[in-house]
A = this chain, B = another copy of it.
Amino acid sequence: MRFLTAGESHGPALTAIIEGFPAGITISSKEINRELARRQKVAGRGERSRIIEADKIEILSGVRGGLTLGSPIALKITNRDWVNWQDYLALEGPLRSGRQVIAPRPGHADLAGGQKYGFQALRNVLERASARTTATRVAVGTLARQFLTQLGVAVAGYVASIGTVHVPTEGANKLTLQELRKAVSASPVLTPCTEAEKAMLAAIEAAREKGDSLGGTFVIHAAGLPPGLGSYVEWDRRLDGRLGQALLSIPSVKGVVVGDGFAGTTQLGSSTHDAIFYSAERGFYRSSNHAGGLEGGITNGETLVLTAAVKPIPTLLKNPLPSVNIKTKEAVPAAVERSDTCAVPAACVVGEAAVAWELAQAVLEKLGGDTLEEIKTAWNRYSDQLRTWPE
């Protein structure tokens, strides 16, 4: 499987093409729209995301009667904002002047992107570097998730901290994925803990009033995965590396850990590993999950647990950070694009999608097959093998 995405933040549309997606998978654009809405409606987002975007997916190919065809799937999200920008961002023909960005925003690609491509117009950078484009990753990842669901694999994320407010992780880690997903679905900050939720909302509101911004962390769980996804045989086939790339490539994510991560580095080896047990009902199993479901670069059958660090949004609406007018070289405040106060819940939705995509890839690499039926047969056969292994 492979995919490409395209689209500028205020351009006519965001698009994606997915190639190699198996045939026979039931696809629902409603579910994609639900995920797009989650990304937009969580707390911390600015006005733009809630009012103007209202993203709806349009599937242009690769599906017939709700079933995938094995052919490339094209997705399109029309930008409702385009009408207000079409003169400034005309693809061909003359450009209306205005809406220029002269003072690059720290924390964004503005400055280095302009230098890289030799652009005088920094808008050329920020239109594509915008987190707006993660809408396509959510759409693509939700397709992958629908595939995983049909195999019994669940992916769910939650916000573990916003600023200095932390959810007690022991509690969250005890929930099943269904419980987690349910608890989170009711929360505007995607957190399963109602007390933390209150404090998070208050922190966001306080930051918004000051025109400041907040970061935080989110956690992605995946359950129902067999052992043996990914491979230890070559570095670029290790699933931890791939999942790390998937999450670190989300705008604003500055760190990723698997399982105990940094906390595990201060423990002794005797207390940070997951002893192996066996019982007739469960087969091989663990009673702890420090490893976060990955050992030696491959899944070990336990729940996958990944945590990502999201930096505070760099666009400050009231007191923009110091910057420079790139033409006059004068010190000026950074440009201000409409922006959010806290991107952590939205990033969590993107993170779920990004992880779902990588897991679907890993499943396909392990099991192969052109159709859901073939994949299911291979899945069942592999499950049988696992039950009797090593005989």
Contact = CB atoms under 8 A, between A and B. Distances in A.
Given A65-B95, A368-B365, A389-B115, A274 B107 contact: yes
A4 B3 contact: yes
A214 B265 CA distance: 7
Nearest to A109: B296
B390 A276 contact: no
Contacts of A207: 268-269
A65 to B, nearest CB: 4
Contacts of A216: 265
Given A254-B259, A390-B327, A71 B273 contact: no
A11 to B, nearest CB: 5
Nearest to A279: B329
A73 B7 CA distance: 8
Contact of A321 (B240, B264, B270, B299): B270
B129 A324 contact: no
A345 interface: no
Interface string A107-124: 111111111111111001
Given A272-B215, A276-B324, A374-B381, A7 B60 contact: yes
A94 B64 CA distance: 9
B248 A254 contact: no
A186 interface: no
Contacts of A296: 108-110, 112-113, 125, 129, 251
- Tallying the copies of this chain within the complex gives 4
Interface stretch (A170-178, A188-196, A306-314): A306-314
A265 B161 contact: yes
A184 B164 CA distance: 35
A69 interface: yes
Interface in A278-310: 278, 284, 286, 291-292, 295-301, 309-310
B390 A106 contact: no
A246 to B, nearest CB: 7
Interface stretch (A15-23, A35-43, A46-54, A147-155): A15-23
A354 B244 CA distance: 15
Contacts of A169: none
Contacts of A272: 215, 311-312
A327 B390 CA distance: 7
A6 B12 contact: no
A206 B258 CA distance: 27
A336 interface: no
B259 A258 contact: no
Interface string A24-62: 100111000000000000000000000000000001111
State the 9 A-B residue pairs at the shortest beta-carbon distance, nearest first. A368-B368, A109-B296, A116-B228, A241-B249, A213-B269, A255-B257, A269-B312, A6-B72, A255-B261
13 contacts: A7-B61, A7-B72, A8-B69, A65-B92, A66-B93, A118-B373, A207-B269, A215-B265, A254-B257, A273-B312, A276-B334, A368-B378, A374-B381
